[in-house]
Amino acid sequence: MEPGNDTQISEFLLLGLSQALELQPLIFGMFLSMYLITVFGNLLIILAVSSDSHLHTPMYFFLSNLSLVDICFISTTVPKMLCNIQTQSRVITCDGCITQMYFYTLFVVLDNFILTVMAYDRFVAICHPLHYMVIMNPQLCGLLVLLSWILSAMVSLLHSLMVLHLSFCSDLEIPHFFCELNQVVQLACSDTFLNNFMIYFLLVLLGGGPFAGILYSYFKIVSCIRGIPSAQGKYKAFSTCASHLSVVSLFYVTSLGVYLTSAATQNAQSSAIASVMYTVVTPMLNPFIYSLRNNDIKRALERFFGRKAF
């Protein structure tokens, strides 16, 4: 990655959420707390699913994968931010920035795919309950997760390789707390038309496509639930997808809010603050949504800790 004067770019500067020195301890404590809660909460979900044979079903298989992705997602951005605050340095190497950008893009796309697969799982469970275990067999579940990983890795690799071919000038300050793809591309002094085109094309394709699939799944789910004669049956059917619907709403609302904020204000600092919602807050809230609204997870955790205590 070379700028116009043929000198090699070695590092970028991450400006973070605020440059006020008096706010750094508060930001450090807040983000450290949210990071630890996120990792601990999602690890509990994974432990509960893996330790309880009653939860060895497609629904909880996808949930444990979502928890793993959320741990990886938040781990690509927050530890580096905490390290920079602690060392009072904003520097990130060029290789470190590209690596962070690659894994951030990988996990945000993967999060989207896993949520879509979970919507399909709920559609089959409610609309085709008699054939659920036949359709959602272990081979298909593993294949869906594997394809999600492969597609996400390919998309992330494409964006990273395209950034490597850009030329950068002297202004290497990223007004963000991590190397976000769009922010890095904006720093280039070479032509970025193709980069911007691929960013928005894949955003529409990989964001709009899965979102349309989720909407279609829930349209069919609502249609099936309306056909259930008893109120208890309707409640039971809806409760099986209430947690997933909450997580989907949180993910898409916060993601959309970031892009709307960025487009409306044209303020990179406001965009950085808004992005905290879906990069940090959403992964932190997911375990609470699934554990507080899911009796199976609660019982599995009780059995797990009861067995450990015994």
Torsional sign, CA 292, 112, 29, 99: positive
Q: Which pLDDT value is given to residue 266?
A: 57
Q: How far is CA 154 from CA 63, 102, 159, 246, 296, in A?
A: 23, 10, 9, 29, 35
**Total domain count for the chain?**
1
Q: Which pLDDT value is given to residue 81?
A: 92
Structural domain harbouring 120 = 11-309
Are 181 and 187 in contact, with CB atoms under 8 Å apart?
Answer: no
Q: Answer whether residue 134 is part of any domain.
A: yes
Q: Answer whether residue 192 is part of any domain.
A: yes
Reported confidence tier of residue 203, pLDDT bands at 50, 70, 90: confident
CA dist 208 and 202 (Å) reads 9
Q: Answer whether residue 275 is part of any domain.
A: yes
Higher pLDDT: 307 or 137? It is: 137
Reported confidence tier of residue 262, pLDDT bands at 50, 70, 90: low
Reported confidence tier of residue 216, pLDDT bands at 50, 70, 90: very high
Q: Answer whether residue 5 is part of any domain.
A: no
Burial 261-290, CB ≥16 within 10 A → b, else e:
bbeeeeebeebbbbbbbbbbebbbbbbebb
Q: In what order do the strands lie in the sheet with 173-174?
A: 91-93, 11-14, 173-174
Q: Which helix (H) or strand (E) holds 12?
A: strand 11-14
When pLDDT is averaged across residues 183-201 and rounded to a whole number, the result is 90
Q: Is the pLDDT of residue 67 over 80?
A: yes
Q: Is the pLDDT of residue 4 over 80?
A: no
Q: Answer whether residue 1 is part of any domain.
A: no
Higher pLDDT: 230 or 158? It is: 158
Exposed/middle/buried for 108, CB within 10 Å: 0-12, 13-18, 19+?
A: buried
Q: Answer whether residue 97 is part of any domain.
A: yes
pTM reported for the whole predicted model: 0.90
Q: Which pLDDT value is given to residue 305?
A: 77
Are 90 and 14 in contact, with CB atoms under 8 Å apart?
Answer: yes
User: Of 211, 253, 218, which is closest to residue 115 (Cα–Cα)?
Assistant: 211
CA dist 148 and 112 (Å) reads 9
Q: What is the CATH number of the domain that holds 28?
A: 1.20.1070.10
CA dist 69 and 71 (Å) reads 5
Q: Answer whether residue 3 is part of any domain.
A: no
Q: Answer whether residue 160 is part of any domain.
A: yes
